[in-house]
Structure 1
Amino acid sequence: MNLLFGFLATSGTSNEITTKEAITWIEKLIPALITLGKNLVFALIFIVIARRLIRWLKKILDRSFKRSSLDEGVSKFLLSLISVSLNILMVIVAINIIGIATGSLVALLGSAGLTLGLALQGSLQNFAGGVLILIMKPFRIGDYIIAGADEGTVTGIDIFYTKLLTIDNRKIVIPNGGLSNQSIINVTNEENRRLDLSIPIEYSANIKQVKELLFAIIMQYDSVLKEQPIDVFVSEFADSAILIGVRMWTKKEDYWQLKWALLEEIKERFDENHISIPFNQLDVTIRTDLSGSSNLIK
């Protein structure tokens, strides 16, 4: 390559190049081109072999991670990090085989990385957040979490983002930087979950009768953990209703089905026992004066 550049420089400065000089230059250039061709072939062979070795190593590491107690999110993160690092190393070695000096290339990549890092501070924050999440493990893949206004089942923890799947089958992608710096409610971290209900009744209702009825309804369900406390109590005197609090424990996977079934049956049983559930209403009074006009009073 240096010979080619030298020839071009000479042709640009000198108007006369003898045939003998051109032949001499070509004779010097041919071995360099042959060497370059050989190096390119060796580099391509190295890349093919290296890629197969990287895939083979990833499969071995993946099986090892699955056999170990390592969290699925951590294993995916480590596999991604190892794969990226090995591919970068493969490219640098291939460039070195071709004959290009890699010292200046590494220095150039270092300065470019510093510049890029300053420009992508948000992405680096997401990367650091992903590392913290994988190390501290506030949640794992399969957990149901609530983070701010977002909630759903964790389906993936990547280097920069965490993916949630909502109950109505929507996919939410949350940057790890913000996720690692806010409060997270892990709903499924524990085996059991407490179900709280607030049932309004009229002030004229028989509180004792209502409590006995609610307790009887609760005891019908096998998904209610009978060995755990079951509480039925007056929780509040609201503006237009007495609020009856209900607390019980259930398995985390039975939570929503139990809640929906209880609310439906409570309404049906209240109707059967003539227990009214009050609701807000607006009274309108129309007053007519002696002149025959009417005033609307709300």
Structure 2
Amino acid sequence: MYINSDQISNYASKFVDVLLDYSPKFISAFVILFIGLYAIRLINRIIRKIMVKRNLDPTLTKFLADILLWALRILLFVTFISKLGIETSSFVAILGAMGLAVGLSLQGSLSNFAGGMLIIVFKPFKVGDTIEAQGVIATVVEIQIFVTKMLTANNQTVFVPNGSLSNGTIINYSMQGERRADLTFAVSYDSDIKKAKEVLLEVLTKNPNVLKNPAPEVFVKNLTTSAIEFSVRPWAKNENYGVVFSQTLENCKTALDEAGIAIQPYTIQK
């Protein structure tokens, strides 16, 4: 095989010329890339500190900071390829088409994203709240962009899509700070109604975990064919609700027994 040394020399010379002509763009593009990445991290850190100082919601702070981070990265990438000499208009068109295709294929995810935005903006609950939604009662651990992470009382982690949360009914047990326990006790018709009310109310007033304001209530709820039903309603702080519920059941049963008041079979409900 014959190799033309002059032709090889010509190709090498052209390659060197192209390399010399292109190297300034190449070097400047990577300088911009490295400086831009450092600047983006610095800006993101400063923005986070500012939002923390202004006492913004932690979930909103993280969400806005992440959006800013990716917006700046995309802008930097477009600047980088533009500096390399690549036509950005066609690239942006391709990126838009890809975004449309991805959006159509991820409609459910976009619904969850929109739901996350609604939750963050309107705040039906926040991290640390105990809520009931989508058949789950749990404490909110983290509000992510697409799902909300919750922890149940038996230490199970549950991820609920934000789209379902934002469109469904949410019961927030923590928002008001106080919660009322609604219990029912059924006693025999042979019992003295006034005495039974006094016994039950005394149990509530002696419990230090039961709030004085709003005041606890005891009243006749219903007269059935076999029993007199009393509604017992103590109030408690959210953190003491479970304790108050359990103590009320136990202490009322003990007090009624000591007073000689017979409890009729009844399923106690919340």
Q: TM-score, normalised by structure 2?
A: 0.88
Supply the distance in 1 between the matched residues of 2:166 and 2:71 (Cα, whole angstroms).
25
Distance in 1 (alpha carbons) for counterparts of 2:224 and 2:12: 99
1:1-298 residue pairs with structure 2 within 5 A? 19-36=5-22, 39-238=25-224, 240-279=226-265
Equivalenced residue count is 266
Alignment deviations for residues 108-129 of structure 1 (CA, whole Å, 9 cap, x no partner): 0100100110110001111111
What is the CA–CA distance in structure 1 between the aligned matches of 2:171 and 2:120, rounded to whole Å?
16
Any conservation in 2 of the 1:76–1:158 contact (CA below 8 Å)? no
Shift of 1:257: 1.6
Contact kept, 8 Å, 2:188 with 2:262, in 1: the verdict is yes
8 Å CA contact 1:58–1:79 kept in 2: the answer is yes
Partners in 1 of 2:223 and 2:70 — Cα distance?
62
8 A Cα contact 1:240 1:279, kept in partner? no
Shift in Å, 1:25: 2.8
> Please, what TM-score do these two structures have when normalized by structure 1?
0.80
Q: Of the two, which has the highest radius of gyration?
A: 1
Tell me the CA shift for residue 200 of structure 1.
Answer: 2.4
User: Which whole-Å CA distance do the structure 2 matches of 1:214 and 1:278 have between them?
Assistant: 15
Unaligned runs of 5+ in 1: 1-15, 281-298
Who is 1:286 aligned against? none
| CA distance in structure 2 between the aligned counterparts of 1:129 and 1:138, rounded to whole angstroms | 12
Give the 4+ runs in structure 1 shifted more than 6 A: none
Higher relative contact order (CA 8 A, sep 6+): 2
Tell which deviates more after alignment, 140-149 or 18-27.
18-27
Q: Distance in 2 between matches of 1:36 and 1:254?
A: 71
Change (3 A) 1:47 1:260: farther
2:160 alignment partner, SS class:
strand
Report which stretch shifted further, 180-189 or 86-95.
86-95
Larger mean Cα displacement after TM superposition, 96-105 or 141-150: 96-105
Alpha-carbon shift at residue 142 of structure 1 (Å): 1.9
Measure, in 1, the Cα distance between the counterparts of 2:3 and 2:222: 104
Q: Structure 1's 99 and 209: CA in aligned 2 closer, same or farther, altered over 3 A? A: same
Cross-structure match for 1:289: none
CA contact (8 A) 2:112 2:147 kept: yes
